[in-house]
Amino acid sequence: MEKNVAIVMRRRMGFGTKQQTLEEIAGLLGVTRERVRQIEKKVCVCEENKQFWKRRIEEPIKNAMDNRESPLPVVALDIIDQWFTNIGNIEEPFRFVLEKFCSSTLHVIKINGISYISMITQDEWDSLVKNAVNVLEGGATRCRWTEAEAKQTVSEILSLDCREFADDLFYTASKNAVFTIIDNTDVPVLTSIGRIGAEAYVESVLAESDRPLHYSEIAEKLSAKGRSIEIRRAHNAAAEIGLLYGRGIYGLMQHYTLDEEETIEIVAEAEDIIGSGLNGRQWHCSEILKILGERGLDMDGRLDHYIVNIALMRSKLLANLGRLVWASGTASRLTSADRIEIIQAIESLLLMEGRPLSGSEIRERLLMEGRGLSRFLQIQNVGNVVKLGPNYWGLADRDIPFSQEQQELIKEILENRLHRLQKGIHKTELFSALNEFSWINKFSDVDPTLFVSIALRSDRMRYAKGNYLYLGEWGEPRRLTIEEAVEIAFEQVSREGIRTQELRELINYTIGYQTSIYAMYGPLSLIGARYYQDIGYWKLSDNEENQQ
């Protein structure tokens, strides 16, 4: 298969990357949208005529679907044929093959987060749900059905080729249905069905907020909007639709503090940490966070164990055991030989491209070469591979703008400075620490990450949580992290609390450099601090004050 054809099909199928549109791929290849469509159509027509797909996929699935009384999940296909083992890990490519290479009668649809094989399309399912809701709304005002009667009426909407979804259709359509005992009846009857439940109200409050909220704050904000809700109901709804950002604190992905590149880097490192441990060991996110910190990855204070937990939801190699605990979810473990091979492949790729690449570019290129690697493979700052910026990589002998002599001088002056200070140097302080070199001013646009990479090529310096460079003989950077600064700040704050700007100034003074307000939110949630909007102050909740 020609290179451009392979790129088109991999990206259209979502193989090793997210599925992309014709326009996106056309832009990548520098061709027209129509040319991309023609390439895809030619391949699909060719594959559709092959008996392999009918024999291997279509016939086994259709046989399993005959007279089926319950839906067939995609992840259960390996029960009918071992050829489908782990098909759930490549669901998007499988969906493409099913709908493009096989007959048009088989589809993959998603219902309440679970993917099923179906004889109807996703659009047809969504239409059925809308019809079912309308039927139930009519029943609530006119018929007073019992739950059994309502379920039977909804099931009659389904055609014979999708009757196995009767339970799912009723469950989905009746999520906000209310069955009540009225007029001295013994059996509850359908009295109302709302299109908007507590979850939707809670989601709207979180969407309006610039930070995650404690469930009691959510209840207060809803009450202020004239929508009174019990605190327990607010807590349950927040847990249902939100992400956990602290003890009782929930938010949405808009409150997530890492970008895509940073997330990929964290997942890759975490997969390496867990994959390098004992088989079967369970890891709490606080343990993973500690090792990430030792590797110098705290994302300028924006990383805590709740953020780690959210990031790891992206991994296909790790298993979420709940309560911020993770374990290896695959039998595949990298050997030393595998790691060496990956390093060599990255170096070869960077050499061939002739320029530095982002972590995402490296991973996508290697996946396109069919090396069977995870999208979250770890890229290490070793050998000739050097980290030039946040998740931005190059070759040491080509992309570092300093001569070898200048690099040695940088290492020497940083080591001497650490000896004099007897405490670590923050990443943002590295440039000023080197200003005794007149030539360093020519490189004011260099990312501080590169100075860290150069320093770590000395076996005497280390990089740790808080983004501090320090002498390895110390064992620690001898500087406070943002988390520690937040705790110290609240030891000094009165019971009345403190305003955001004052808190930020106090924290910056304590750590000795400027940090953003967003870097404070995680540490604040960890100690149980709440923002009281009515008075504009941060305060510890009563139970946290009692503990202190």
Contact status, residue 374 vs residue 334, Cβ threshold 8 Å: no
Check whether residue 63 and residue 44 sit in a common domain. Answer: no
Task: Quote the pLDDT of residue 182.
Answer: 60
CATH, residue 249: 1.10.10.10
According to DSSP, the β-strands at 318-322 and 385-389 are unpaired
Check whether residue 468 and residue 488 sit in a common domain. Answer: no
Check whether residue 152 and residue 163 sit in a common domain. Answer: yes
d(CA 73, CA 86): 12
The backbone torsions φ and ψ at residue 485, rounded to the nearest 5 degrees and listed phi first, read -65, -40
Check whether residue 240 and residue 285 sit in a common domain. Answer: no
CA distances (Å), origin 194, targets 35, 140, 174, 203, 234: 47, 10, 9, 16, 17
Check whether residue 352 and residue 321 sit in a common domain. Answer: no
Task: Quote the pLDDT of residue 543.
Answer: 45
pTM for this one? 0.52
| Secondary structure, 3-state, 95-127 | HHHHHHCCCCCCEEEEECCEEEEECCCHHHHHH
Check whether residue 504 and residue 533 sit in a common domain. Answer: yes
What does the block give as tokens for 195?
């299109």
d(CA 101, CA 395): 42
Domain stop point among 255, 283, 301: 255
Partners of 532 in the beta sheet? 537
Query: Virtual CA dihedral for 470, 471, 476, 477, nearest 10 degrees?
Result: -20
d(CA 468, CA 442): 24
Domain stop point among 450, 474, 498: 474
d(CA 516, CA 397): 35
Partners of 189 in the beta sheet? 146, 180
Check whether residue 248 and residue 229 sit in a common domain. Answer: yes
Q: Indicate the number of domains in the chain.
A: 8
Q: What angle do CA 262, 263, 269 make, to 5 degrees?
A: 90
Domain stop point among 118, 141, 156: 118
| Secondary structure, 3-state, 287-354 | HHHHHHHHCCCCCCCCCCHHHHHHHHCCCCCEEEEECCEEEECCCCCCCHHHHHHHHHHHHHHHHHHC
Helix (H) / strand (E) element for 246: namely: strand 243-246
Check whether residue 292 and residue 343 sit in a common domain. Answer: no
Check whether residue 460 and residue 432 sit in a common domain. Answer: yes
Check whether residue 163 and residue 186 sit in a common domain. Answer: yes
Give the residue numbers spanning the domain of 456: 404-474
Give the pLDDT of the chain (548 residues) as one tens digit per residue. 577 888 888 888 888 778 888 888 888 888 898 998 898 888 888 877 777 777 788 888 888 888 788 888 888 787 777 888 777 778 788 888 877 887 668 888 888 888 888 888 889 999 999 999 889 888 877 777 888 899 999 999 988 888 899 999 998 888 777 676 665 567 777 876 754 567 778 887 888 888 899 999 999 988 887 777 888 888 988 998 899 999 899 998 989 989 888 898 899 888 888 877 666 688 999 889 888 887 778 787 788 899 999 999 998 788 888 889 998 875 455 666 777 788 888 999 999 999 999 887 888 788 776 555 555 577 888 889 999 988 789 999 999 999 999 999 999 999 999 999 999 999 989 988 888 777 888 888 889 999 999 999 998 999 887 889 999 999 889 999 888 899 999 888 887 889 988 999 999 999 998 887 777 877 887 787 888 877 888 888 654 443 44
d(CA 513, CA 517): 13
Check whether residue 179 and residue 217 sit in a common domain. Answer: no
Neighbours of 7 (CB within 10 A): 18
Task: Quote the pLDDT of residue 383.
Answer: 87
Partners of 470 in the beta sheet? 462
Contact status, residue 482 vs residue 515, Cβ threshold 8 Å: yes
Task: Quote the pLDDT of residue 372.
Answer: 55
Check whether residue 385 and residue 429 sit in a common domain. Answer: no
Task: Quote the pLDDT of residue 393.
Answer: 93
